[in-house]
Structure 1
Amino acid sequence: MSDWKLESWRAKSALHQPVYPDAVALREVTSQLEELPPLVFAEEIQSLRKDLAKVERGEGFLLQGGDCAESFAEFSQQNLQDTVKVILQMAVTLTYAGSCPVVKMGRVAGQFAKPRSSPVETRNGESLPSYLGDIINGIDFDESSRVPDPQRMLRAYQQSVTSINLLRAMATGGFASLRNIREWNLESVNGTKLAERYGAMTDRIHQALDFMNACGVPMEAFSSLQGTALYTSHEALLLEYEQVMTRQVDGAWYDLSAHCLWVGERTRQEDSAHLELMRGVENPVGVKIGPTATADDCLRISTQLNPDNESGKLIFICRMGAAKTKEVLPALLKAVSDAGRKVIWVCDPMHGNTETAASGYKTRNFDRIMEEVIAFFDAHRNAGTYPGGLHLEMTGRYVTECTGGAYEISDEDLHHCYDTQCDPRLNAGQALEIAYQAADELRRFRQK
């Protein structure tokens, strides 16, 4: 990486970046951030790399989920705890029903910036700059809120500190122990067939733990049953923030704002400043791969971000829609596999299935989301490659943002609890349905 420098991204094409009106204020904030402690540690990133190398070899599965965009106003211990509960529920479902260890990663503690399809939002004939995420500007539709404010980076950092402290406490403080598996259940799935199925599974797991204990093998002998690793991730979109959080540790560079970063579909172009910054860090890096991606795109990105073809380094997050997954993904799998490139393939079934309901709400249809998940597994079965994970926009709350699922949410139901900052999310029940389907697909894949 002799040609890479911390600021070499500035010579590249930096799309979807805010224009701060006060350059002096921006420098003051970035100088403050440079002096603050890292959010994560290099050793944790190295551990994640090892875990992801197992996923790449087909010995694990990556579950990545959380809010489309984190909010300053909606942040609370309860909301974060509910999201973690769903991730733990999904992970134990995949582990038990799919016979596969799960790497758990949240879209949390940094997922504050969002690229937008248009730089301008118009309501009732008035046009203002688009909302770009709480780390950049405000969601309120008024002129002062939509001005990019660098002070928001400091607030995002502080909220991320709190989130990571809570995650670490939940991961190692007993909350994530398998003994508490019944307590992970959420009211949002109570009384459904999902709750019955999950309850039956938890009963069997408790019986197994009791059997182990009766045989003289206490659960305390297995640290993996008493806690877990909960990794953080977000889109590396706001380059000013990502640069100041990139630090040198033992001669290597790490983006210490998160364990894992990804580059979006809109910012992965050939002359991308985002890819340039990410190619210099030791973190595992994801890249969103949409329906227009070509084999040459995938090979170029693979060589750029992982020139030494290391394990556990590069994640391709496919977001194509079900039809395009069937049409486009097989050729990409073949090209990357034939070239011998080491890649973890992950399915993001959310972003290729966004639509506007007749009621005017942006939504996603659960059946189409599920169809894309199944198409993703089918493509890998046919190609002889490994389906490495799921990437979901989801919440532990009972929101009505995606239609369909066990509660059969209709267009007319969307207004009941539509709270997203940006894109529609799966609620807890819908996310658990996806987990059961993925577990079934994994089991069939392994039995092939």
Structure 2
Amino acid sequence: MATPEVKSLFDVSVTTKEIIFRDEVDPSEWTADSWTSKVAAQAVQYADIDGLRQTCSLLRELPPLVSDWEVDQLRERLSHAALGSGFIIQGGDCAESFADVKWDIVKRKVDLLFAQSQILEEALQVPTTVIGRIAGQFAKPRSNLFETLPSGEVVHAFRGHNVNSEDPSEREPDHRRLLLGYMYSAAAQRMLRKMPLHLTSHASDGKKVEFSLFTSHEALHLPYEASLTHNRYNLSATTIWLGERTRQLDGAHIEYARGLRNPIGVKLGPTATPEGVVALLNVLADPMAVGKVTLITRLGRGRAQTVLPPIIDAVRRSGHIPLWMSDPCHGNTFSSPSGIKTRRLEEMLAELKETYTVHQACGSFLGGIHIEQTGDNVTECLDETVMGRDDEYLGTCYQSLCDPRLSRDQAIRLIEEFANFVRAVKGRERE
């Protein structure tokens, strides 16, 4: 299929917009609640179902957290990244904490993202869009939905503050937390809109453009997501993604996501197959909807060269043009000698480089990076500076509610090293 002509990130013809935003969904076959006819992986088990219904009814009456025009603006930017004329940096907490919805903490996260975007824009020479895992990342999937305490008692696993507490004595899912999650998300959104995002970018036509910050989270809790869906827009965030554990083709999460106008991300682990990825694209997006779907690969170091090329080839032959992103975090998670979950910066960087190289070799575009990070100086991920004293280091300031996050310095170093690698590749190409 011929690639639509796109003049620049901020100057798109009407014809191209029509191509980018084309959605083939029959409203008679999809509603915000049609997912209830499917099996929902990672579903939260509530004892008070009537209370959950009442909470969701209240959520439907509350103001949207984002606007539909913000969603459309992000879709336009993602479409350009899908075509190689833009780039995305998406990052933030593994699981946000209600306690961290504070001005200083949120601002440090935002400052980190914009510092990374500047580094990437200078190296890649294309406009870079910032998306935070922020203002709504309050629900988490878990490998095991229940946990056995040292006492032998079996309790629900911690599923994020939208569902329950990290405190083992407060693990029973509570539907009222969804209202708290909405309120904290609204507070974070208000903070983001008050922050001076003064950094600027130059579009290809020479115009100066103010940066925007878009928000995202994993669409795990379908009753919550559906309650904040209006006219086919999920207005809890500008973009949402489906995880490796919830992307079943015949499952409730895919059924919910297929009818949305929001851009949809899908995490792909090393077991993803070319046929399976194309099938997902066929359900989630019309082939003419450029960049509607973001394929976020999380393969682990050393796997990109074997897993990725056949998937890229199958997607190209299908006619779909998704945005390709790399999540170098999840595939490189392991436990320290004392059982602390962690990751190594060097392995994450290696996966980023391998993924970029594979896309280059396949004539494709790596259009973004998706990472778990914080603006604070935590000690949750390892790097070469602490070799040989892993547990000592990790025990210093490990604050994540779930998976380990890169500290601010580590996150900047990851992006700087990746940018230097890209510069070197581009330099060799010019020679």
Q: TM-score, normalised by structure 1?
A: 0.85
Aligned partner of 2:199 in structure 1 is 177
Aligned partner of 1:346 in structure 2 is 325
Contact 1:40 1:257 in 2 (8 A): yes
For 1:272 and 1:388, the matched residues in 2 are separated by 28
Matched letter for residue 135 of structure 1: N
Q: In the TM superposition, what are the counterparts of 1:33-182 in structure 2 within 5 Å?
A: 33-124=59-150, 125-142=152-169, 145-170=170-195, 173=196, 175-177=197-199
Aligned partner of 1:228 in structure 2 is 211
- Deviation >6 Å, runs of 4+: none
Aligned partner of 2:419 in structure 1 is 439
For 2:395 and 2:102, the matched residues in 1 are separated by 23
Aligned partner of 1:201 in structure 2 is none
Give 3-state SS (helix, strand or coil) of 1:45's partner: helix
Matched letter for residue 112 of structure 2: V
Question: How large is the RMSD of aligned CA atoms in angstroms?
Answer: 1.8
Contact 1:66 1:393 in 2 (8 A): yes
CA deviation vs aligned residue, 1:400-419 (integer Å, no higher than 9, x gap): 00011566673320010000
Q: Which runs of 5+ in 1 are unaligned?
A: 179-204, 210-220
CA deviation vs aligned residue, 1:156-215 (integer Å, no higher than 9, x gap): 111111111111222xx3x4336xxxxxxxxxxxxxxxxxxxxxxxxxx9xxx9xxxxxx
2:276 aligned residue (289, 297, 312): 297
Matched letter for residue 394 of structure 1: Q
Report how far residue 308 of structure 1 moved.
Answer: 4.2
Q: 1:379 to 1:107 in 2, by over 3 A?
A: same
Matched letter for residue 268 of structure 2: I
Matched letter for residue 300 of structure 1: A
Matched letter for residue 52 of structure 2: L
For 1:58 and 1:407, the matched residues in 2 are separated by 37
Q: Which runs of 5+ in 2 are unaligned?
A: 1-24
2:359 aligned residue (380, 391, 411): 380
Percent identity among equivalent residues? 39
For 2:381 and 2:411, the matched residues in 1 are separated by 11
Aligned partner of 1:411 in structure 2 is 391
Q: 1:281 to 1:400 in 2, by over 3 A?
A: same
CA deviation vs aligned residue, 1:33-60 (integer Å, no higher than 9, x gap): 1110000011111111111111011011
Report how far residue 291 of structure 1 moved.
Answer: 0.4
Bigger shift: residues 18-27 or 343-352: 18-27
Aligned partner of 2:407 in structure 1 is 427
Aligned partner of 1:241 in structure 2 is 224
Matched letter for residue 168 of structure 2: F
For 2:64 and 2:421, the matched residues in 1 are separated by 38
Contact 1:9 1:277 in 2 (8 A): yes
Aligned partner of 1:316 in structure 2 is 295
Give 3-state SS (helix, strand or coil) of 1:329's partner: helix
Matched letter for residue 99 of structure 1: Q
Report how far residue 73 of structure 1 moved.
Answer: 2.3
Contact 1:68 1:111 in 2 (8 A): yes
CA deviation vs aligned residue, 1:3-50 (integer Å, no higher than 9, x gap): 212221111110101111112211111111111000001111111111
CA deviation vs aligned residue, 1:62-102 (integer Å, no higher than 9, x gap): 10000000111233111110011110110011112332211
Alignment length (residue pairs): 397
CA deviation vs aligned residue, 1:355-386 (integer Å, no higher than 9, x gap): 11012211111111111111111111111100
Give 3-state SS (helix, strand or coil) of 1:73's partner: helix
Contact 1:16 1:115 in 2 (8 A): yes
Give 3-state SS (helix, strand or coil) of 1:322's partner: coil
**Is 1:14 the equivalent of 2:36?**
no
Bigger shift: residues 437-446 or 45-54: 437-446
For 2:385 and 2:314, the matched residues in 1 are separated by 38
Report how far residue 294 of structure 1 moved.
Answer: 0.2
Report how far residue 223 of structure 1 moved.
Answer: 5.2
For 1:300 and 1:440, the matched residues in 2 are separated by 36
1:265 aligned residue (217, 222, 244): 244
Contact 2:287 2:321 in 1 (8 A): no
Report how far residue 444 of structure 1 moved.
Answer: 4.6
Contact 1:302 1:341 in 2 (8 A): yes
Aligned partner of 2:5 in structure 1 is none
For 1:308 and 1:371, the matched residues in 2 are separated by 32
Give 3-state SS (helix, strand or coil) of 2:160's partner: coil
Report how far residue 141 of structure 1 moved.
Answer: 1.2
CA deviation vs aligned residue, 1:200-244 (integer Å, no higher than 9, x gap): xxxxx9xxx9xxxxxxxxxxx9652xx411000000000000101
Q: 1:405 to 1:240 in 2, by over 3 A?
A: farther
Aligned partner of 2:57 in structure 1 is 31
Q: 1:387 to 1:444 in 2, by over 3 A?
A: farther
Contact 2:386 2:393 in 1 (8 A): no
